[in-house]
Amino acid sequence: MEPPEPAPEAPQHYFSARPRVASRPEEHRFLYRGEMLVIQTDRGLFASHGLDPGTALLIETLEGISAERILDLGAGWGAVGLAAAKTVPSAHVVLTDVNQRAVRLARKNLDRNGVRNAEVRLGSLFEPLGDESFDLILSHPPFHAGRETVLEFLTQAPEHLVPGGHLRIVGKGSQGIRFYQAWLREHWGSEVEVLARGGGYRVVDAARPSKNRQR
């Protein structure tokens, strides 16, 4: 009797803590606000071959923002956090990700582009932040992790926003962005606005709800 075939390994996702896929770094260059940024991506990360259109659309909405503390949640290799730090050099930017490879790369990309007003932390969702709060939370949420994970993120976000703070997320129709937009309007009871559209994506901005509306 032949031995049974081994069970297939669980699929790897960019939100895995330790990607099993072999590392294969790639270098890319982007012109942002008149400066050539040199970044590195890698396998096992979201947008492993460069800037994806949704994240690019989110970055476009950063022009003119004013904030003292900014959070890039689920930062990957650091595109949004890097752009936010360059856009508002007076702000302190925190990047978080559960993916250890992403955290290492994000730190490297900030350093090689001379960013001194940002830091990268390892952990899932808001775990690395304690009770810290921010003026602006930016995210391309991990939609493929499932609706439960995304709703956990949206439910916890108000606790990490200062009064008057905003959450800004990007997604496309096939990822359920209209559902999450409606969920924010219903559960936060605050102003929810579509700031940009393009390529099937939309950037949704929600103002922090009042304490009596958070649930």
The fraction of the chain above a pLDDT of 70, given in percent, is: 83
The C-alpha R_g of the chain, in whole angstroms, comes to 18
The hierarchical CATH code for the domain 52-213 is: 3.40.50.150
* Every domain of the chain and the residues it spans: 52-213
Which H helix or E strand runs over 80? Answer: helix 79-87
Q: Are 87 and 77 in contact (CB under 8 A)?
A: no
pLDDT higher than 50, residue 173: yes
- Say if residues 23 and 41 touch (Cβ distance below 8 Å): no
Q: Is 175 helix (H, G, I), strand (E, B) or coil?
A: helix
Half-sphere exposure of 175 (CA within 13 A, CB side): 19
End-to-end CA distance of the chain: 57
Tell me the per-residue pLDDT of 86-145, one tens digit each, with 9 for 90 and over: 999 999 999 999 989 999 999 999 999 999 999 999 999 999 999 999 999 999 998 988
